[in-house]
Amino acid sequence: MNDSPDLVLVVDFGAQYAQLIARRVRELHVYSEIVPRSTPIADMLARKPKAIIFSGGPASVHVPGAPDIDPAVYDAGVPLLGICYGAQLVARDLGGEVAKTGQGEYGRTELHVEGSSLLFADLPVDEVVWMSHGDSITAAPAGFTVTARTAAVPVAGLEDRDRGIYAVQFHPEVAHTEHGMQILKAFLFEAAGCRPTWTNVSIIEHAVAEIRAQVGSERVICGLSGGVDSAVAAALVHKAIGDQLVCVFVDTGLLRLGEAEQVEQTFREQFEVELVHVKAQDRFLDALDDIVDPERKRKTIGELFIRVFEEAAQDLGDARFLVQGTLYPDIVESGGGDNANIKSHHNVGGLPDDMEFELVEPLRALFKDEVRAIGEELGLPEEIVWRQPFPGPGLAVRIIGTITRERVEILQQADAVVVEEIRRAGLYREIWQSFAVLPAVKTVGVMGDDRTYAYPIVLRAVTSDDAMTADWARLPYEVLERISSRIINEVPGVNRVAYDITSKPPGTIEWE
């Protein structure tokens, strides 16, 4: 497909919901990307966006140093939607008033639509929206029409159709806003004239064309982990360039129980693609000896992966390109843009500086659910497409403290029990990730008539849509009970099981 999809840029003002806005836009089949607000307007416009959305943000426009934006954006002729903080910014920058009224609104709020409005056309006059703000817009700028209000706020929606500038104080992107999707739809399709062409088929066609353009007739290697991301990346590249692709599966010694055999079998059967299986358990475990710090673990593993791939590439006659299944959230979480660096995902921030490969990352703009959908479209088996995510550094980031062969074995066995029982309970697909963690402490117990002093296992099971946020899964007590008693009875070296009931935030999904 040579016709690029329409692009909507979401300018991030530090919002909790910036990702969600981009996801919602994509759900409406329009391609959307998040950009930090520090991006020069000229750079944004050079990408020819069909629309720009300002996200919310935690600041008050009245605080010195509050995030702002070059006002050139308002004269660019690109349709604009400001949400929450973004709405206040639009109002303030264009000559309206934003005040600390002392009347914040948080959560469920009744919205009353006024007069005729493009965003609220065809919607009921009164509806429920989700608010989260302290300051309020008290006067719209000249040229704007006030389109909605609430009991506490006189200007909850405003628009200047001639200039194509729209703003809402509430969050249309959250599910609690009754007609949020219709409002976004009206903005995208009526105000901005976007075309809904971002579909699975177009994503695949686009990726295939890009891969061909990037690699030409050269050889490409793809690191395969057995997870859905690298499998879909491999399938896409295979579709694009056929037998120029060689897949390399590295056994790091940090995989789940039986995984190496399973991956090899599945991929040899499913793909007619050359597969090299590198058995590098000793190299990885030796390199990790005595490393306790999570970031050092990731960097060590990231670097070693690359060395192993470089060796494989040499054996294959100097392949220059390396395919990785990096996803959009990996990039955002590794400190892309203005976001804080929470973890250097081994395949983004953990890459060595002297790496010689050019990366091919066909999934780098995609969220996990999009990857799964295109995996299905490409005909990958359900067993791969619906596999729970597994981090590239594997069990290394689930073994807290030092990694020894003995501790890897304990965790593999405990983890196998968790996966088996979650599957048996029919919960495997609805739970985002369920796994065991091995902490670096020992606790006292009693088994038979003897005192034990052994490791606890922490069970972690979370629900999530995209790993950006997560909640602990409300597992039935019977499932918890079976997992606990099986682990203690079947895994030597473990005498206690605890369940982690932390959401993300404030926790992360993995323990390291």
- What is the rounded CA–CA span in Å between residue 388 and residue 227? 8
User: Is residue 510 involved in binding ligand XMP (CB under 6 A)?
Assistant: yes
Cβ 337 vs Cβ 36: under 8 Å: yes
Q: Is 295 in the site for ligand XMP (CB under 6 A)?
A: no
- Say whether residue 252 binds ligand XMP (CB under 6 A): no
- Binding string to ligand XMP for residues 47 to 86, with x set by CB under 6 A, is what? ----------------------------------------
Residue 467 is a binding residue for ligand XMP (CB under 6 A): yes
Q: How far is the CB of 230 from ligand XMP (least distance, A)?
A: 9
CA-based angle 376:6:240, to the nearest 5? 40
What is each CA distance from 324 to 225, 343, 359, 389, 426, in whole angstroms?
10, 18, 7, 15, 31
- Nearer of residues 165 and 263 to ligand XMP, judged by Cβ: 263
Question: Residue 258: helix, strand or coil by DSSP?
Answer: coil
Which CB, 134 or 336, lies closer to ligand XMP?
A: 336
Work out how close the CB of 422 gets to ligand XMP at its nearest, in angstroms, rounded to a whole number.
Answer: 15
CB of 301 closer than 8 Å to CB of 291: no
Contact (CB, 8 A) for 419 and 428: yes
Q: Say whether residue 299 binds ligand XMP (CB under 6 A).
A: no
Q: Residue 428 and residue 434: Cα distance in Å, rounded?
A: 8
Stretch that binds ligand XMP, among 65-73, 141-149, 386-394, 410-418 (CB under 6 A): 386-394
Q: Hey, which bits of 13-76 come out as E strands?
A: 31-36, 51-54
Q: Which is nearer to ligand XMP, 389 or 439 (CB)?
A: 389
Which region, judged by CB under 6 A, interacts with ligand XMP, from 42-50, 230-238, 252-260, 344-352? 344-352
The verdict on whether 173 is a catalytic residue reads: yes
Q: Which residues contact 42 (CB under 8 A, 6 or more apart)?
A: none
Residue 23 interacts with ligand XMP (CB under 6 A): yes or no:
no
Candidate residues 277, 283, 482, 504; the one interacting with ligand XMP per rule CB under 6 A: 504
Catalytic site residue from 127, 133, 159, 171: 171
338 neighbors 36 (Cβ within 8 angstroms): yes
**Measured in Å, how far apart are the chain's first and last C-alpha atoms?**
41
Which whole-number Å values give the CA distances from 248 to 25, 110, 316, 322, 381, in the listed order?
Answer: 35, 56, 11, 10, 20
For residue 171, indicate whether it is catalytic.
yes
DSSP assignment of 137-188, as one string?
EEEPPTT-EEEEE-SS-S-SEEEETTTTEEEESS-TTSTTSTTHHHHHHIII
Check binding of 343 to ligand XMP (CB under 6 A).
yes
> CB 434 → ligand XMP: shortest distance, Å?
11
Residue 503 interacts with ligand XMP (CB under 6 A)? Answer: no
Rule CB under 6 A: choose which of 32, 117, 230, 347 binds ligand XMP: 347
Q: Which of 127, 159, 173, 303 is catalytic?
A: 173
- Contact between 392 and ligand XMP by CB under 6 A: the answer reads yes
Per CB under 6 A, the list member of 179, 346, 387, 407 interacting with ligand XMP is: 346
Q: For residue 314, which of 378, 237, 403, 248 has the smallest C-alpha distance?
A: 248
So which residues are the catalytic ones? 84, 171, 173
Site residues (CB under 6 A) for ligand XMP? 298, 333, 343, 345-347, 389, 391-393, 397, 433, 467, 504, 508-510
